[in-house]
C-alpha cells in the first residue's frame, strides 16, 4: 500500500521570481509550484493581481482551475475558476478585499500574513507618537531653515500617560509592549476575549470604548478592517477625548472617520495626529489633513522593515510544507469575522 501524500499543484501569484525559487526549493517532492504572475522585486500586494495580456490571463485561469492551492491575491474570477482549490494563502494581513461569496461560503481554507509585519508597524506608530510629543517635526523644520532656537516647544514625556489601543492583536500587543517600556498605562479594546498581559492594565470590549476614551492621552488604532470596525472612531469618539490627546492610526483607514479627525484637529481637541492609513488612499493633494503642522502622514509604509520579507517567506514556506503533508495551517482566517 502506498502511504505517500498525494501530489499537489500550487499556483503562485504576487511573489518575486527569487521568492518563487525559494518556494520551489522548500516544496516537498510531491508538490508542484506553478508560477502564475511574477511581481517586481518590491510587490505591494494591496490589490488583487491581474494578468497583463488576455492570453496570459486565460493561461492563468486554466492553471488555477487545475490547482489544489493558490498563493497570492486572487480575483473573484480566480476563485470561481478554482473548483479544486482547498487552500488560499493571502500575501497580506488584510483579507477583506478577498472575501468573495465563493470564498466565504465554501470549504476553502484561507490563511493570511497576520503578525508578519507587526513589530515594524508598532515601531512606526510609536515613532510617530514620539515625533509629536517630543516636537521633532519642529526641530526638523528648523534644521531645514538652519535655525538654532532654544525656545520651549512644549515637549512632553510619556511616563504616566494612558493609552487606549484599539485592536489587541499582533500589532496592538506589539504597540502595548513598546508603550509599557515608556511606563504608559495601556488599556486594550478588542472584540475577542483577550487576556490581560504584563503590557496591558485591562482589556475591554468595544461597547465600552466610549467609557474609557475620556481617560486617554493617546489612542492607537490597530484594529483590522471589518464591518464592525468601520468608523469605530467617529465624531462622538473624538469629542470624548480630553483636550491635548493624540491619535495614531496604523491599521486601516476605514476604522476612523476622516472628517471627524479633521474636525478634532481644527477645534484643538487633538494635540496631534499621525496616520499611516487613510480613506481615500492615497490621500489626494488639497485634502485638509495635509495642512496641519501637528499631523504626520506616512504612505501606508509602516509594514516595511528589513525583516518583513524574510518573515513573510518563512510563513508561506511553512504553510506550503504543512499543506503538502495534510497538517493544520498557520494563520487560518475566520472568514465570517474577516480576520
What integer pLDDT is reported at residue 52 of this predicted model? 60
Indicate the domain borders of the chain: 8-114+306-325, 118-297
- For the chain (length 339 residues), average pLDDT per consecutive 10? 73 93 94 81 45 79 96 96 97 96 94 97 98 92 82 89 98 98 98 95 98 98 96 98 98 97 97 98 96 96 95 97 97 95
What integer pLDDT is reported at residue 48 of this predicted model? 43
Q: What architecture is the 8-114+306-325 domain classified under in CATH? A: 3-Layer(aba) Sandwich (3.40)
State the pTM of this model: 0.91
The reply to whether 8-114+306-325 and 118-297 are identical in fold is: yes
> Per residue, what are the HEC states of the chain?
CCCCCCCEEEEEEEECHHHHHHHHHHCCCCEEEEEEEECCCCCCCCCCCCCCCHHHHHHHHHHHHCCCEEECCCCHHHHHHCCCCCEEECCCCCCHHHCCHHHHHCCCEEECCCCCCHHHHHHHHHHHHHHHHCCHHHHHHHHHCCCCCCCCCCCCCCCCCEEEEECCCHHHHHHHHHHHHCCCEEEEECCCCCCCCCCCCEEECHHHHHHHHHHCCEEEECCCCCCCCCCCECHHHHHHCCCCEEEEECCCHHHECHHHHHHHHHCCCEEEEEECCCCCCCCCCCCHHHHCCCEEECCCCCCCCCCHHHHHHHHHHHHHHHHHHCCCCCCECCCCCCC
What integer pLDDT is reported at residue 49 of this predicted model? 45
What integer pLDDT is reported at residue 44 of this predicted model? 44
What integer pLDDT is reported at residue 43 of this predicted model? 44
Residues 282-303 have pLDDT tens digits of 999 999 999 999 999 999 999 9
118-297: which CATH topology? Rossmann fold (3.40.50)
What integer pLDDT is reported at residue 316 of this predicted model? 98
Residues 307-332 have pLDDT tens digits of 999 999 999 999 999 999 999 999 99
Amino acid at each position: 500500500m502506498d502511504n505517500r501524500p498525494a501530489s499537489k499543484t500550487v499556483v503562485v501569484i504576487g511573489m518575486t521570481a527569487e521568492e518563487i525559487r525559494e518556494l520551489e526549493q522548500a516544496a516537498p517532492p510531491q508538490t508542484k509550484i506553478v508560477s502564475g504572475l511574477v511581481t517586481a522585486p518590491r510587490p505591494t500586494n494591496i490589490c488583487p493581481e491581474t494578468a497583463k495580456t488576455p492570453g496570459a490571463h486565460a493561461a492563468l485561469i486554466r492553471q488555477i482551475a487545475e490547482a489544489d492551492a493558490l498563493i497570492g491575491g486572487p480575483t473573484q474570477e480566480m476563485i470561481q475558476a478554482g473548483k479544486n482549490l482547498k487552500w488560499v494563502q493571502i500575501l497580506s494581513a488584510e483579507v477583506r478585499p478577498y472575501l468573495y461569496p465563493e470564498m466565504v461560503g465554501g470549504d476553502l481554507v484561507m490563511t493570511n500574513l497576520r503578525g508578519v509585519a507587526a513589530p515594524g508597524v508598532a515601531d512606526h506608530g510609536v515613532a510617530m507618537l514620539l515625533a509629536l510629543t517630543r516636537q521633532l517635526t519642529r526641530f526638523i523644520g528648523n534644521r531645514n531653515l538652519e535655525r538654532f532656537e532654544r525656545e520651549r516647544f512644549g515637549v512632553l514625556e510619556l511616563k504616566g500617560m494612558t493609552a487606549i489601543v484599539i485592536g489587541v492583536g499582533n500589532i496592538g500587543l506589539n504597540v502595548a509592549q513598546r508603550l509599557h517600556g515608556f511606563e504608559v498605562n495601556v488599556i486594550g479594546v478588542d472584540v475577542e476575549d483577550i487576556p490581560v498581559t504584563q503590557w496591558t492594565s485591562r482589556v475591554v470590549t468595544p461597547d465600552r470604548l466610549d467609557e474609557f476614551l475620556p481617560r486617554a492621552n493617546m489612542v492607537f488604532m490597530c484594529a483590522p478592517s471589518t464591518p464592525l470596525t468601520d468608523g469605530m472612531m467617529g465624531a462622538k469618539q473624538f469629542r470624548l477625548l480630553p483636550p491635548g490627546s493624540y491619535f495614531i492610526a496604523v491599521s486601516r483607514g476605514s476604522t476612523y472617520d476622516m472628517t471627524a479627525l479633521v474636525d478634532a484637529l481644527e477645534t484643538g481637541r487633538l494635540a496631534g495626529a499621525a496616520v499611516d492609513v487613510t480613506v481615500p488612499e492615497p490621500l489626494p493633494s488639497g485634502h485638509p489633513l495635509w495642512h496641519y503642522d501637528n499631523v504626520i502622514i506616512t504612505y501606508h509604509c509602516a509594514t516595511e522593515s528589513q525583516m518583513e520579507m524574510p518573515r513573510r517567506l518563512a510563513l508561506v514556506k511553512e504553510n506550503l510544507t504543512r499543506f503538502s503533508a495534510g497538517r493544520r495551517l498557520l494563520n487560518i482566517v475566520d472568514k465570517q469575522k474577516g480576520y
